Amino acid sequence: MSNGLEDAVMDMLVAAQEPEDYIGEDGLLYCGKCRTPKEAYFADGQNFMGRDRHPAECDCRRKERLRREKEEAEQKHADTVERLKQSGFTDPAIKDWTFANDSGKCPQMEKAHFYVEHWETMRAENIGYLLWGNVGTGKSYFADCVANALMEREIPVCMTNFAAVLNDLFTYAAGRNEYIARLCSYPLLIIDDFGMERGTEYGLEQVYNVIDSRYRSKKPLIATTNLTLEQMRHPEDAPHARIYDRLLEMCVPVCFTGGDFRKAAAQQKMECLKKLMEQ
Ligand SMILES: [Zn+2]
């Protein structure tokens, strides 16, 4: 063994001594701060390179290491979640739409909680939701909360809409297959505002392409739409029919009724302003 290596091994075998440390009744070196041993004997009186003991972690060192490891793990988790949100949302503003910020006014929200709590089953059984109903009833908020909650668990989610998808497919026409493959690679795909895109032949073909690819990937899809279930069950023509058929096969319909939250919020602001002006 070369001297350099021997020194390195000896360093590992000898506990670093601080001025306040002391030798305990058992002959081991004790930490002067936490008064627990900084050394331990080898088992069964064994020796190694002439030493009967090796360094050990005293309590305060262990606490410090655990604290540091926890901090590093939390930072790593936060970085991962941030990266997922950066890449998963078309609109960065919605990364704050979370269960924690929920007003509790939307009765369907318990289905969002249910979905997240049973994600492993939803993923395995390929179960999605079709959130349908009037404008402003909280469908997008519902979908965003699911996306955010899963991302918090480090599960990649892509939330987009067909206006953005069609635009991307048109822009990157050459890499169309890779683009669709990427959409299908996410464990959960959420398509907001489904059915708002106008039905040109090209557009409908691409929409079908994406929905069908997702269907064949055997991964779940959540879609929100202002269309009624009736409209989707009895579409105007064959190109729409094959899209809606696929969608209804993949997604469990969840009906959103009730008040228009956006109108209610606007009304509240109006009343608040009125009161302020009366003062
Ligand atoms: Zn200590």
3 state DSSP class of 104: coil
Q: What percent of the chain has pLDDT over 70?
A: 92
Angle separating helix axes 238-250 and 201-217, nearest 10 degrees: 20
User: Where residue 119 falls among pLDDT bands split at 50, 70, 90?
Assistant: very high
User: Where residue 97 falls among pLDDT bands split at 50, 70, 90?
Assistant: confident
Q: What is the Å distance from ligand 1's center to 60 Cα?
A: 4
Cβ density class 137-158: b for 16+ within 10 Å, e for less: bbbbbbbbbbbbbbbbeebebb
77 contact partners, CB below 8 Å, separation of at least 6: 154
Q: What is the Å distance from ligand 1's center to 67 Cα?
A: 14
Does residue 275 fall inside a structural domain?
no
81 and 182 share a domain?
no
Q: Higher model confidence: residue 125 or residue 266? A: 125
Q: For ligand 1, a single-atom ion, which residues have Cβ within 5 Å?
A: 31, 33-34, 58, 60
Does residue 274 fall inside a structural domain?
no
Q: What is the pLDDT of residue 264?
A: 62
Q: What is the Å distance from ligand 1's center to 142 Cα?
A: 50
Residue 18 has pLDDT above 90, yes or no: yes
Count of the separate structural domains present in the chain: 2
Does residue 278 fall inside a structural domain?
no
Residue 103 has pLDDT above 80, yes or no: no
Q: pLDDT tens digit string along 41-50? A: 999 989 888 8
Q: pLDDT tens digit string along 38-87? A: 999 999 989 888 899 999 999 999 999 999 999 999 999 999 999 999 98
121 and 145 share a domain?
yes
Q: What is the CATH number of the domain that holds 197?
A: 3.40.50.300
Does residue 242 fall inside a structural domain?
yes
* Residue numbers of the domain that contains 76: 1-86
How confident is the model over 243-263, as a mean pLDDT?
Answer: 83
Q: What is the Å distance from ligand 1's center to 29 Cα?
A: 11
DSSP string across 219-257: --EEEEESS-HHHHHS-SSHHHHHHHHHHHHHEEEEEE-
